[in-house]
Amino acid sequence: MRVVVTGGGTGGHVYPALAIAQGLKRAEPEAEILYIGTRRGLEADVIPRAGFPLETITVRGLERRRIWKNFLALALLGRGTVEAYLLIRRFRPHVVVGTGGYVCGPVCLVAAALGIPVVLHEQNAFPGMTNRWLARIARTVCLTFPEAAKFFPRGAELVTTGLPVRPEILRADRAEARKRLGIGPDDIFILSVGGSQGARSLNRAILPVLQFYSGQPSVRILHVTGRQGYEALKEDARRFGIEVGKNGNITIEPYLYEMDVALAAADLVVGRAGASFLAEVLARGLPAVLIPYPFAAANHQEYNARAVASQGAAVVIRDHELRGGKLLRTLQSLLAEPSRLKAMAEASLRLGRPDALERIVERILAVAHS
């Protein structure tokens, strides 16, 4: 069996695509998998490192502000479509899997024109423009959030599968993780993450939280600043009486390599509402305070956060509401109500889909073999 996987640009598209490729390889060890992406996207680095062959096409996305640049984008689209055609004719896949991003457009359209079935995966509660458009020619669209269904055209075959979660997230043992981090069995552990690039507004909003809980050994906090925000937060923290490395219950790091350990140990999570991060939080059954990134495309992070909050698994604070100590007040309120935290954790676990990858792979294989 031969499968083309495509999805590019950001980690939100690339990492689910990589997880699907790995899942297909485990399910069908003899399968040949080709990844089609771009030279400029994250996939150019991530996919070869993971051991999958990568072919690239020339394509770029449309811009909402600098309209004049779209003439170049449209010209490149024609070139990219020809390149996609040549790759697909040479590889002859049984199925093409797309996870979004502008590279998916020409690849999936060429596949459909050649009679090759297309399966899409949509990560967000508000679908990206490419996937909404491609749904018309796709055999199946796998959804992370059922709330996304209303944005797709009538007649599209939709199935809610969830989003693939890294195996190490699911395997991590809570007791072992807390032991490694030096967290007592009765301590409350809050994990605060602004994303790999950090979040300036969250870094500012966390300072009163760190100040309030500093010196309270029963509450442990790990805040991840992002590499770009670490030095600035260290300096700001001193003005709040916090010396990095000298406050036993407060830990500040620029980046978190062992997210699996931190999530396994956590009692409460504070963070953005990107689809991949949310999938990991829900798979672990963790209550969350979500602060959607306000500049995400089409404000899709707020749609994600609202979908989770509507089921009782999270509290949503909009980015502009962080001023005035709202994050601290929210955390104080939640920690004062253990029964509410427990109910949120139960709701989170119900929403989590640890079997998402298996369900997606099963669907792809069914389409390929048919």
Q: Mean pLDDT of residues grouped by 10 in the chain (370 residues)? A: 91 90 96 94 90 90 55 67 96 97 93 97 94 95 97 95 92 96 95 78 93 92 89 86 78 90 98 94 97 89 97 96 93 97 97 95 95
Q: Does domain 2-165+354-369 have CATH number 1.20.1260.10?
A: no
Domain ranges of the chain: 2-165+354-369, 168-351
From CA 173, how far away is CA 25, in angstroms rounded? 26
From CA 361, how far away is CA 369, in angstroms rounded? 12
Check if the beta carbon of residue 258 is closer than 8 Å to that of residue 266: no
Q: What pLDDT was estimated at residue 126?
A: 96
Three-state secondary-structure class, residue 275: helix
Phi/psi-derived region of residue 27, left when phi > 0, alpha when psi is between -120 and 50, beta in every other case: alpha
Query: What 3 state SS string does 13-48 have?
Result: HHHHHHHHHHHHHHHCCCCEEEEEECCCCCHHHHHH
The secondary element (H helix, E strand) that includes residue 4 is strand 2-6
- Long-range contacts made by residues 26-29, C-beta under 8 angstroms, separation at least 24? 27/361, 27/365, 28/1, 28/365
Residues forming a β-bridge with 101: none
Q: What pLDDT was estimated at residue 63?
A: 52
Q: 2-165+354-369 with 168-351: one CATH topology?
A: yes
From CA 269, how far away is CA 331, in angstroms rounded? 10
Check if the beta carbon of residue 131 is closer than 8 Å to that of residue 122: yes
CATH of domain 168-351: 3.40.50.2000
From CA 280, how far away is CA 283, in angstroms rounded? 5
* Sheet (strand 314-316) strand order: 250-253, 219-224, 188-193, 268-271, 288-290, 314-316
Q: What pLDDT was estimated at residue 57?
A: 93
The secondary element (H helix, E strand) that includes residue 243 is none
From CA 298, how far away is CA 123, in angstroms rounded? 14
Q: What pLDDT was estimated at residue 243?
A: 77
24, 126, 287, 337 alpha-carbon torsion, rounded to 10°: -170
* DSSP codes joined into one string, 38-103: -SSSTHHHHHHHTT--EEE-------SS-GGGHHHHHHHHHHHHHHHHHHHHHH--SEEEE-SSTT
From CA 148, how far away is CA 131, in angstroms rounded? 11
Q: What pLDDT was estimated at residue 12?
A: 84
Q: What pLDDT was estimated at residue 106?
A: 94
